[in-house]
């Protein structure tokens, strides 16, 4: 089971740190977290270090979020790095090694 966590930063971007596996069935809570964060912030930093599995629906969520706001992917797990590279999304999305780098970008 996946549990999205929300952490606020001192910059105008919300930091969301989801953990676990994300697919069609487990994405709605993460989508709600992103929507809630955007009500109070200008963008989202997704700390992807705790994501152990993600499918094409997760990738779709990233791309649609990227289209509507400032989305920064931070500390991607090996799983997420591989997913982004295979489909070429790493050339489209802003990916950073750490949350701190994403905040300072």
Residue 40 burial (10 A CB sphere; 0-12, 13-18, 19+): exposed
User: Would you state the pLDDT for residue 9?
Assistant: 46
From CA 32, how far away is CA 52, in angstroms rounded? Answer: 20
Beta strands in 1-105 (DSSP E): 6-8, 13-16, 20-22, 43-47, 51-54, 70-74, 94-96
This prediction has a pTM of 0.86
What structural domains does the chain harbor?
6-97 (3.30.750.24)
User: Would you state the pLDDT for residue 73?
Assistant: 98
User: Would you state the pLDDT for residue 75?
Assistant: 98
- How many helices (H) and strands (E) the chain has is answered by 4, 7
From CA 76, how far away is CA 99, in angstroms rounded? Answer: 10
| pLDDT by 10s per residue, the chain, length 105 | 555 554 544 548 999 999 999 999 999 999 999 999 999 999 999 999 999 999 999 999 999 999 999 999 999 999 999 999 999 999 999 999 999 999 999
């Amino acid at each position: 089971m996946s549990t999205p966590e929300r952490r606020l930063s001192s910059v105008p971007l919300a930091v969301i740190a989801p953990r676990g596996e994300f697919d069609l069935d487990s994405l709605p809570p993460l989508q709600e977290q992103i929507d809630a964060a955007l009500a109070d912030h200008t963008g989202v930093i997704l700390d992807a270090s705790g994501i152990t599995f993600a499918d094409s629906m997760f990738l779709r969520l990233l791309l649609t979020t990227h289209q509507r706001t400032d989305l920064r992917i931070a500390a991607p797990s090996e799983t997420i790095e591989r997913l982004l590279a295979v489909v070429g999304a790493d050339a489209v999305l802003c990916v950073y090694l750490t949350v701190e780098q994403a905040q300072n970008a």
